[in-house]
Amino acid sequence: MELQSKPDTVRDEPLTWRTMTLLVKIGTVVIWVAFVLYLVFLLKLLLFSRALGSERSLNLIPFATISNYLFSDSAGVKRVAIGNILGNVVAFVPLGAFLPLLRRRIGMWSNLLIVVCASVSVELVQGIFGVGASDIDDVILNTLGGLVGILFFTLLRVLLRRWSRLIIVMAVLSLLAVPILSYLLFAIRLRM
């Protein structure tokens, strides 16, 4: 008599809180804590690092700011450009990586749409309250970052093949990110 194991593949593993191992439960809690900490960091970075009304500008022309950065002759502008371009991409990579894990039943395009909506919302709030430049290029770069995160998650999912493994690996990556996020949140006063 041969015992059949429960399906443990990425697509059909029936992981519920009752069927998870203790390690996977701990991993799930770590992921949620890291995700909440990431959201707090993102809000501080994008909305609460400047005084209300300190900056208000609007750019609705795609790639105008990016091309200005890339083709400027000023060394100061180039330095700001690298930080702004990379910062906008990197800031949304975790969102793209967390969404498919936390919203498992939602497809890749739906998760990307959530990233786009989050980015547009941030730009609208920045424009309304004057706490940053509302720029379509930021939406493009943030979406690119979210897509990189989604693709990273998809690659991990293909390589690891089991949700339980995926949760543990994402929890470890989250644990590595938590000290960095904590440092950025509490030790650095963000100035833009």
HSE, CB side, 13 Å, CA atoms: give it for residue 190: 20
Segments of the chain scoring below 50 in pLDDT: 1-10, 12, 190-192
> 114: which residues sit within 8 A by CB, 6+ positions away?
99, 103, 106
CA angle centred on 77, ends 48 and 119, rounded to 5°: 40
For the segment 115-159, what is each residue's pLDDT rounded down to a tens digit?
A: 999 999 999 999 888 888 899 999 999 999 999 999 999 999 999
> 105: which residues sit within 8 A by CB, 6+ positions away?
none
